[in-house]
Amino acid sequence: MEIKITKTACPKEKPDSSTLGFGKIFTDHMFIMDYSRELGWHDARIVPFENLSIHPASTVLHYGSEIFEGLKAYRRADGKVQLFRPMENIRRMNTSADRLCLPQIPEDIAFEMLTAFVACEKDWTPSAPGTSLYLRPFMFGNDETLGVHAVNNARFMIIASPVGSYYKEGINPVKIMIEDEDVRAVRGGTGYAKCGGNYAASNRAGERAEEKGYSQVLWLDGVERKYIEEVGAMNVMFKIGDEIVTPKLTGSILPGITRKSCIEMLIKEGYKVSERLLSVDELSAAMRDGSLVEAWGCGTAAVVSPIGELCYKDHKYTVNEGKIGAVTQHLYDTLTGIQWGKTEDTFGWTYVID
């Protein structure tokens, strides 16, 4: 499919790497492609980054027809820029689109659009340690009518933001609160899809946790409020004794690409990894008797983030004396080594942009 490129007449100055934070600065261009039932996907274009004009009745504004993805472009030591498992994001986006009744994008077309956009913006990929160019593909329904139904019109876009670490703590352990009031998702709902509504419904608990000094909440399952699910923006893993436990994908958890990669790396190295149900009671008992040795979250934005404190029903538990554990550090080093091209990618996970 042809991509029309209109370059900006006023390129912005690239930011100083020390000021990046997460998702506050955007590059010079954005990608747009439109969909209608009659024409299918059409009018693929890269245009200067600017505000959108949107019909006030647009489906997304009223009924939340929106899905998104998150992946990063990394600057390697040799100056080249590479993506990490981009096809996984493309496939998950189509799974999310299916759940939200948004149109599918054929994988080869989505890949072509993504890589063309990254090639256009690759100079924005920072090179300081721990920095990258965060890519945010997203799709929304934009029928200009208030009827509730699967959409006839949609727009797919990609924007990019040079980023540093997601948490202000960086690689230092974060404090997480186990939420026992609100729930994020239920089986049969949209938990496994990456849709904006999941995050909107999470904010109330997130705010309450932040007020108490916690970075994010750890969700319990929505039916029994008994089993550990995931954190606001990352999946979770626990080292209990010599077993590494991560909640199994029951339909209400986002199937994280970092989670999948960590599992594959750990299994290859001979660790005992279990994807299973883990009750909050089992976790609390492991915290009390000291068999919980390490806890960490994993996600594209969060990378591998050690958890130094967990709070459940006002009981505070310190994990590994509030320090990063050996497996967490090892995972962080191996994963980021592959992502930034410092370690050989024996899995074939990276894709270099020309």
Residues that bind ligand PLP (CB under 6 A): 70, 230, 233-235, 254, 256-259, 299-300
- In the chain, the amino acid numbered 303 is V
- What is the nearest approach in angstroms of ligand COI to the Cβ of residue 344? 25
Which H, E and C letters describe 276-315, residue by residue? Answer: ECCEHHHHHHHHHHCCEEEEEEEECCCEEEEEEEEEECCE
Chosen from ligand PLP, ligand COI, none, partner binding at 28 (C-beta under 5 to 8 Å by type):
none
Are the CB atoms for 137 and 114 separated by under 8 Å? yes
Which CB, 103 or 256, lies closer to ligand PLP? 256
Chosen from ligand PLP, ligand COI, none, partner binding at 309 (C-beta under 5 to 8 Å by type):
none
Chosen from ligand PLP, ligand COI, none, partner binding at 230 (C-beta under 5 to 8 Å by type):
ligand PLP
Are the CB atoms for 163 and 132 separated by under 8 Å? yes
- What is the nearest approach in angstroms of ligand COI to the Cβ of residue 160? 13
- In the chain, the amino acid numbered 24 is K
Which CB, 91 or 226, lies closer to ligand COI? 91
Chosen from ligand COI, ligand PLP, none, partner binding at 254 (C-beta under 5 to 8 Å by type):
ligand PLP
- Between the alpha carbon of residue 197 and those of residues 194, 234, 270, the distances in Å are 9, 16, 38
- What is the nearest approach in angstroms of ligand PLP to the Cβ of residue 144? 30
Are the CB atoms for 121 and 27 separated by under 8 Å? yes
Which CB, 142 or 252, lies closer to ligand PLP? 252
Beta-bridged to residue 101, according to DSSP, are none
DSSP code of residue 208: H
Chosen from ligand PLP, ligand COI, none, partner binding at 319 (C-beta under 5 to 8 Å by type):
none
User: Residue 163: which of 345, 333, 13, 303 has the closest Cα?
Assistant: 303
User: Residue 299: which of 269, 246, 254 has the closest Cα?
Assistant: 254
Distance (Å, whole) CA 86 – CA 90: 6
- What is the nearest approach in angstroms of ligand COI to the Cβ of residue 249? 17
- What is the nearest approach in angstroms of ligand COI to the Cβ of residue 233? 4
- Contacts to ligand COI by CB under 6 A: 70, 233, 299-301
